Structures are given as structure tokens and as C-alpha cells.
Amino acid sequence: MNNIAAQLRSAKNRPSAGGFSVERHAAAKRSLMLAIGADISQPSAEPVVNLKTRYIFWLSQSFVSRPLVVGVAAVVLAVSGLMTTVSAAQQSVPGDMLYTVKLINERARLQLASLDRKAVLHTEFAEERLNEVSKLQLNASSHDTDLVAQTIDAYTQEVASANQNLRDLQASGDVTTVATANAVQQNLVALDSTMTNSVAPASSEAESVAVSSAQSTTQVAQDASVSVAVQAHQDATSEQSTRELNDMFLRQFAAIGTRKTFDMHRLSVIRASLELHPETLGALSIITDTDLRRLERSINIAIADVAPAMDTFALGNYQSAFEALAHAESLLRGIEATIADVEIGITAALMSAPPDPVQ
């Protein structure tokens, strides 16, 4: 076995085995150096680096690079922790420790967004403010009316910012103006519905003022989104802008129909309450059946021009068609304010009344 190994080692430099002798290797190196113009008059002094020296060199390099590795790991851990904190902050409400982190994250997203995206983001943040209002109102043990009012004011600011961004986008002549107005209006219609159906009645003067301002700002922003879309469409009409405008009209048209149904249902509930508690509610003269019928007629009168608005829109009179819908909504708001006062009066009377005797 030893003889075979010795023969194999000796064969590695034999030309017949495909190997090079030391002399041929040196000659080939000399020819290559001459070909590239290297100076070979002085022999190069190449230090002999043994394994121990190489190990020491590697070990020293590893200590030099280790701080960089540790730093990268620290950054990864820090970012991971930050993302966890931001995720937890999304569930916070005003007054919580992490709420500031939530607001900082929202501002950062706005800074990175384009103008058209900013307008939509503001409406999304407005929706989050309304969700926070609902959570604060549900927590009866720590219901801070000032904090609720401040959160509603924050909602109003988000809606106003969306309106301003949309107008800035229109002024820039951006081709996405109509599509952005459509997206903004869609969110505003949903926000308006949330305020009507989900936000509890104001329990303080500060809340009442804030809610009134929020509703007014939302209506102004809705009207503005329509006005911006109509003007942008007229400035640069296209199939896409026509579709966007049609979506906006149908959405607002449907919302009014839903609103009418809901208001009529509220009147039915009031009528049922009067019938179930005649002793408690009848003596207070909160509202009579005649008043209820008058409110029902008012609702029907308010939406009388809504159906014809569809024909007006089909004829291309977009602005007039939208104005008819806006007028109907304005009348409904006045009626809904009256209904809300009656509901609050009935609720307060029933809560303060003694319980019915057990049969």
C-alpha cells in the first residue's frame, strides 16, 4: 500500500500524467510575467505564511468584523421591537401610553405618501378617530367627556385635511383627481353614516359642540369632493372620469334611500315606545302621534327631488343632479336633529321612571 501511495505522489509532476515539473511551472510563470510587462529582474520576495500565522490573521479579522455583526443584529432586534410596539399601539385610544406612537406612525405614513394618497389617508385616520370615540364612550367607568370631545375635534381636523389635499390635487391638474375624489367621497359617506348610527348622543356641551362641528365639516367635505370631481371631469373628460363620477352619484343616491329607511324606522320605534309607556311618556308631552306623522311627511317631501335627479344626471347636468341630492340630505339632517332630541327625551324619561310593577 505504501509503495502505491509513493508512486501516485511521484506521478503528479510527470508530463505523461498531465502534471508540470517545478522547472516547467517556473518557466511558464516567467513567460506570463514577460507577456504582461512585469519587471522580473528582481525576484519577488513572497513571505512564507504558515498555518499558525494564517490562523492568527483570521482570528484578528473576526474580532474586527464582530462589532459590525453585533451592530446589525442590534438594529434588527430594535426594528423588530419597534414594529411590535407600533402594532400594539394600533389598538390604543386617547389616554393610553402607546397612543402617541400610534399618531407618530400615522404622521410618518402621511410624510411618505403622494398628495392623492394623503387625501385618502386622512379619511382613513378620521375613521380611526370615530372608532376611538366609540370605545371611549362605551367605557362608562372612565368616560372623559373632554377627551371624547378632543377626539371628535381630531376627527374634524382629519376630514378638513382630506378636503384641503383634494383641492390641492385639483389645483395641480393631476390626472388622478376624479378617482381620488371618488375614493374620498366613498369614505366620507361611510363616516357620515357612522356618526349617525354608531356615535352615542353627546353627554356634555363640549361633546355636543364637537359633534355638530364634525357633522358640518363632513358635509362640507362631501360637497367639496363632488365639486372637485365634476370640475376635473369637465376640464378633462374621459371614459374613466365618467365612470368615477357615475359611481359617486349612485353612491350618494343610495345613501339617501338608506337614510330615509332608517329615519322612518326611528319614528316607528318612537311610536312604539309611546304606546308601550303611555303613563310615563304621555304626561311629558315629548311628542304626539300628530307630530310623528308630520315628521314622516317631511321626510317624503325632503327626498321628492331625489328621483328626478337621476334623469338630470343622465342628461349630463352633473352639478345640478348632485345639488339636488345635497339639498335632500340637508333637509334630512334637520329632521334627524328633531328625531334625535325626541329619542334623548324618551330615553331620559324611561331611565328615570320607576320600574314597572311585577305582575
Dump pLDDT digits (tens) for 318-345.
999 999 999 999 999 999 989 988 988 8
Residue range 82-115, pLDDT digits in tens: 556 667 788 899 989 999 999 999 999 999 999 9
* Residue 140 C-alpha from the chain's centroid: 28
Residue range 240-268, pLDDT digits in tens: 999 999 999 999 999 999 999 999 999 99
Q: How far apart are the first and last CA of the chain?
A: 112
Output the pLDDT for position 147.
92
Structural contact between residues 194 and 127, judged by C-beta atoms closer than 8 angstroms: yes
Output the pLDDT for position 8.
44
Residue range 33-77, pLDDT digits in tens: 554 454 555 544 444 455 555 555 555 555 455 555 445 545 444
Residue range 154-186, pLDDT digits in tens: 999 999 999 999 999 999 999 999 999 999 999
Alpha-carbon distance of 13 to 22, in angstroms, equals 8
pLDDT band at 317 (very low <50, low <70, confident <90, very high): very high
* Residue 203 C-alpha from the chain's centroid: 29
